[in-house]
Amino acid sequence: QRLACKINVLVRQLEGQSVEVLNPLTGTCAKENFSFSVDAMADAEKKVPAVPESLLKRRKAFATMKAMRVKKMLAEKKARKVTRKLIYKRAEKYHKEYRQMYRREVRLGRTARKVGNFYVPAEPKLAFVVRIRGINGVSPKVRKVLQLLRLRQIFNGVFVRLNKASINMLRIAEPYIAWGYPNLKSVRELIYKRGHGRMRKQRIALTDNALVEKALGKYGIICVEDLIHEIYTVGKNFKPANNFLWPFKLSSPRGVMVFKGLNMHNKNFGGKTVLFLSLML
């Protein structure tokens, strides 16, 4: 610091004085006025880059990537907002549809009673099947049916579309299963409480609508409410929606398992109401 001060004083003393300058080409000396500006030196120092060029390039690339990331985040936020509005509208539409279905059944029943008739509801199209026995003593045919129903473990449950083929399968495996017709409340509770999806051959909990949209978006199913509607109404995309759902792993019921109307030796065949389903959720 002292040396810098001395140099600065010397420069100011020589400012404006004549100094002999040697020309190396001609070997002659010539007098010239000494001119040196400290401000010019400072300007020269400012022009010298303070950081390497590679670091400047990295900073520029980082700033560009950050701007792109912020732009992408804003676009995703806007898309999520639009999706939330669409999901809300669909849920509202489904609520109205379920209410109209219920009121229609009530109205038809009242109309039939007024004229002295009986109202027979339409045949149910959806069943929920629970495996209630293990693997001991299972014949190969029954074992194959249970595999087709995806009931590989005891107290596993699945939704099944009722048709001639599925009813015949239920007849074969009847001693090892209990099944019934779920209502809207049961379907909703099963999916919300015990619902897991199949993604990349893994069992993933349905904690976000984005998971459903990623797996079933090509079928127009973008949220859990869409999935519930497709299962309950047995729509045209019931098969991919049901295959997406991992078989429900229900808890073992406490105490003795009781089935309403369940008699293994009864020749009458039909859906039984599973009383312990609420205890297994």
User: H helices within 115-130, ranges in order?
Assistant: none
Confidence class for position 11, pLDDT limits 50, 70, 90: low
pLDDT band at 22 (very low <50, low <70, confident <90, very high): low
Range 98-137 burial, b when 16+ CB lie within 10 A, else e: eeeeeeeeeeeeeeeeeeeeeeeeeeeebbbbbbbbeeee
pTM, entire model: 0.70
* Lowest-pLDDT range of 4-18, 44-58, 147-161: 4-18
Kindly state the average pLDDT of the residues 57-68.
92
84: left (phi over 0), alpha (psi -120 to 50) or beta: alpha
Q: What is the pLDDT of residue 26?
A: 59
Residue 236 has pLDDT above 60, yes or no: yes
Angle at CA of residue 251, ends 139 and 158, nearest 5°: 55
How buried is 219 (Cβ within 10 angstroms: 0-12 exposed, 13-18 middle, 19+ buried)? middle
Q: Is the pLDDT of residue 218 over 50?
A: yes
Say which range, 13-22, 86-95, 178-187, 213-222, has the weakest mean pLDDT: 13-22
To the nearest whole percent, how much of the chain has pLDDT over 90?
53
Q: Give the C-alpha separation, 254 to 252, whole Å.
A: 7
Mean pLDDT of the chain: 81
d(CA 208, CA 220): 16
Residues in the chain: 281
Q: Is the pLDDT of residue 70 over 90?
A: yes
Give the integer Cα–Cα distance in Å for 216 and 240.
Answer: 8
Residue-wise pLDDT tens digits, 150-170: 999 999 999 999 999 999 999
Per the listing, tokens 């859990």 go with 224
Residue 25 has pLDDT above 60, yes or no: no
pLDDT of residue 6: 60
pLDDT at residue 263, as a whole number:
38
Q: What is the pLDDT at residue 134?
A: 86
pLDDT at site 275: 45
Q: Is the pLDDT of residue 7 over 70?
A: no
Please report the pLDDT score of residue 230 as a whole number. 96
Using the predicted structure, report yes or no on whether residue 246 has a pLDDT greater than 90. yes
pLDDT tens-digit readout, 261-278: 343 433 344 455 444 455
* Phi, psi (degrees; rounded to nearest 5) at 134: -85, -150
Name the nearest CA neighbour of 206 among 221, 196, 215: 196
Digit-coded pLDDT (tens) for 199-215: 988 999 999 899 999 99
Q: Which pLDDT score is estimated for 137?
A: 84
Per-residue model confidence (pLDDT) at position 266:
39
